[in-house]
C-alpha cells in the first residue's frame, strides 16, 4: 500500500507540473494584460509597472522564475490588488471555503446517502418516488435559483435568517443549505443506483433464499459495494465544494475562494490565476488519491497496484 501511495503521489506531482505549465502559457498567450485600464496608461508608466512584476522579461524566463518561486511556496504578488500576495488571499479565503464546503458536504452526505439507500430498498414505493423526484428537482434546480429562493423565503418573508454576509453561525445556514441540497441530490441518486445494482446480484438472491434477514443483506452485504459510485463522486465533489462555488458565494456574499477564481480571470491577475489553479489541482489530486484508497478498501475485487 505504501508503494501504491508513493507512486500515485509522484504521479500527482507530475500532473501538477503539467497543469502549471499549461496554465502559465495559456495565461501568457491570452490577450489583454493585468495592467490595462480604462484610462490610458502612458507607455513609460506601464513599463515601470511591468518591470515591477517582471513582465519585461521573456515568457520562458518568467516561467522558470515563477516555477522556482512556487516550489518555495511563494505564489507571488497579486498583480491587481496592491500590497496583497496571492498567499495572503488564499490564506484569507480558503478557511471560509473549507468551512462552507465541509458543512455543505456533511448536509449532502447526511441527506443524500440515507435517502438513496431507503429509495433502493423500498424501490417503487412512495419512499422511492418522493425522495428521488425531489432529488431530480434538486439536480435540475441550479444553485442560482435555489439560493435566491431560500434567501427570499427565510431571509425576506420569514426574516429568520440573514440574507447575506458571513459573520456568525446563522450566516452559514442558507449558503451551506443551497450548496448541500444540490450535492445531496447527486449523492441520493448515485447511492440508489449503486445499491440497486448490489441488491440485484445473484448472491443476494442466494442469501435471501438461504433466509438471511433483509437487514443483514442491506447493511452487511450490499452497503459497502453500493456506496462505491457515491464515493467515486466524493473526490471531485469535495474538491469542487471546498474550492468554492462562485454562484453561492456571490448570492450570499461569502468571502470564499470561488469569487477569487472569477475575479482573477476577469482582472487577468496572472499570479492569482496560477496560484488558485495549483491549489485547485492539488485538491483534486489529493482527493482522488484518498478516493482510490477508499475504493480499494470497500471493494475486495480491486487491489493496490
Q: How far is the CB of 245 from other proteins (least distance, A)?
A: 14
Among 28, 45, 136, 145, binds other proteins (CB under 8 A): 45
Q: How far is the CB of 119 from other proteins (least distance, A)?
A: 24
**141 contacts other proteins (rule: CB under 8 A):** no
DSSP string, the chain: -HHHHHHHHHHHHHHHHHHHHHHHHHHHHSSS-TT--SSPPPHHHHHHHHHHTTTTS-HHHHHHHHHHHHHTT---B-SSSTT-BHHHHHHHHHHHHHHHHHHHHHHHHHHHHHHHHHHHHTTTSHHHHHHHHHHHHHHHS-HHHHHHHHIIIIIIIS--S-SS--SSGGGTHHHHHHHHHHHHHHHHHHHHHHHHHHHTSHHHHHHHHTT--HHHIIIIIIHHHHTHHHHHHHHHHHHHHHS--HHHHHHHT--SHHHHHHHHHHHT-HHHHHHHHHHHHHHHHHHHHHHHHHHHHH-TT----
Nearer to other proteins by C-beta: 46 or 294?
A: 46
Region binding other proteins by CB under 8 A among candidate stretches 100-108, 150-158, 213-221, 275-283: 150-158
CB of 102 to other proteins, least distance (A): 17
User: Residue 11 and residue 4: Cα distance in Å, rounded?
Assistant: 11
Using CB under 8 A as the binding rule, whether residue 151 contacts other proteins is answered as yes
Q: Which is nearer to other proteins, 23 or 33 (CB)?
A: 33
Smallest gap, in angstroms, from Cβ of residue 175 to other proteins?
11
Q: Does 295 bind other proteins (CB under 8 A)?
A: no
Q: Is-contact 89 272, C-beta < 8 A?
A: yes
Q: How far is the CA of 73 from the CAs of 66, 214, 229, in angstroms?
A: 10, 54, 35
CA-to-CA distance for 177 and 104, rounded, in angstroms?
A: 6
User: Shortest gap between Cβ of 272 and other proteins (angstroms)?
Assistant: 12
Q: Which of residues 63-92 bind other proteins (CB under 8 A)?
A: 77, 80-84, 89, 92
Among residues 128 and 270, whose Cβ is nearest to other proteins? 270
* Window 171-190: residues binding other proteins (CB under 8 A): 173
Of 148 and 236, CB closest to other proteins: 148
Q: How far apart (Å, rounded) are the C-alpha atoms in residues 92 and 260?
A: 11
Q: Per rule CB under 8 A, is residue 164 in the interface with other proteins?
A: yes
Can residue 192 be called a binding residue for other proteins (CB under 8 A)? no
The contact mask relative to other proteins for 87-126 (x = CB under 8 A, - = no) is --x--xx---------------------------------
Binding string to other proteins for residues 215 to 254, with x set by CB under 8 A, is what? -----------------------------------xxxx-
Residue with cell 443483506: 217
In the bound state with other proteins, the residue whose beta carbon lies nearer, of 94 and 233, is 94
Contact residues for other proteins, defined by CB under 8 A: 30-34, 36-42, 44-46, 48-49, 52, 77, 80-84, 89, 92-93, 148, 151-152, 154-156, 158-170, 173, 250-253, 255, 259, 263, 266-268
Amino acid at each position: 500500500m505504501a508503494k501504491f501511495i508513493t507512486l500515485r503521489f509522484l504521479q500527482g506531482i507530475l500532473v501538477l507540473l503539467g497543469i502549471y505549465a499549461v496554465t502559465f502559457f495559456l495565461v501568457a498567450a491570452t490577450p489583454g494584460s493585468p495592467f490595462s485600464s480604462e484610462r490610458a496608461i502612458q507607455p513609460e508608466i506601464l513599463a515601470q509597472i511591468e518591470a515591477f512584476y517582471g513582465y519585461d522579461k521573456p515568457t520562458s524566463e518568467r516561467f522558470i522564475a515563477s516555477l522556482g518561486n512556487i516550489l518555495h511556496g511563494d505564489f507571488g504578488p497579486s498583480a491587481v490588488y496592491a500590497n496583497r500576495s496571492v498567499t495572503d488571499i488564499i490564506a484569507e479565503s480558503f478557511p471560509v471555503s473549507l468551512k462552507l464546503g465541509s458543512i455543505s458536504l456533511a448536509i449532502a452526505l447526511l441527506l443524500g446517502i440515507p435517502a438513496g439507500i431507503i429509495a433502493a430498498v423500498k424501490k417503487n414505493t412512495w419512499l422511492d418516488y418522493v425522495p428521488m423526484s425531489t432529488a431530480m428537482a434538486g439536480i435540475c434546480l441550479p444553485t442560482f435559483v435555489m439560493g435566491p429562493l431560500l434567501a427570499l423565503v427565510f431571509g425576506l418573508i420569514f426574516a429568520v435568517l440573514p440574507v447575506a454576509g458571513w459573520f456568525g453561525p446563522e450566516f452559514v445556514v442558507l449558503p451551506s443549505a443551497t450548496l448541500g441540497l444540490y450535492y445531496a441530490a447527486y449523492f441520493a441518486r448515485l447511492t440508489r443506483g449503486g445499491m440497486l445494482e448490489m441488491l440485484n446480484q445473484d448472491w443476494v438472491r442466494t442469501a435471501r433464499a438461504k433466509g438471511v434477514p433483509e437487514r443483514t443483506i442491506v447493511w452487511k452485504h450490499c452497503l459497502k459495494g453500493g456506496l462505491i459510485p457515491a464515493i467515486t463522486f466524493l473526490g471531485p465533489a469535495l474538491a469542487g465544494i471546498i474550492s468554492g462555488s462562485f454562484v453561492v458565494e456571490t448570492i450570499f456574499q461569502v468571502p470564499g475562494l470561488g469569487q477569487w477564481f472569477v475575479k482573477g480571470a476577469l482582472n487577468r491577475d496572472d499570479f492569482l490565476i496560477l496560484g488558485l489553479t495549483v491549489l485547485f489541482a492539488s485538491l483534486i489530486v489529493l482527493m482522488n488519491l484518498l478516493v482510490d484508497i477508499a475504493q480499494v478498501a470497500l471493494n475486495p475485487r480491486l487491489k493496490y497496484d
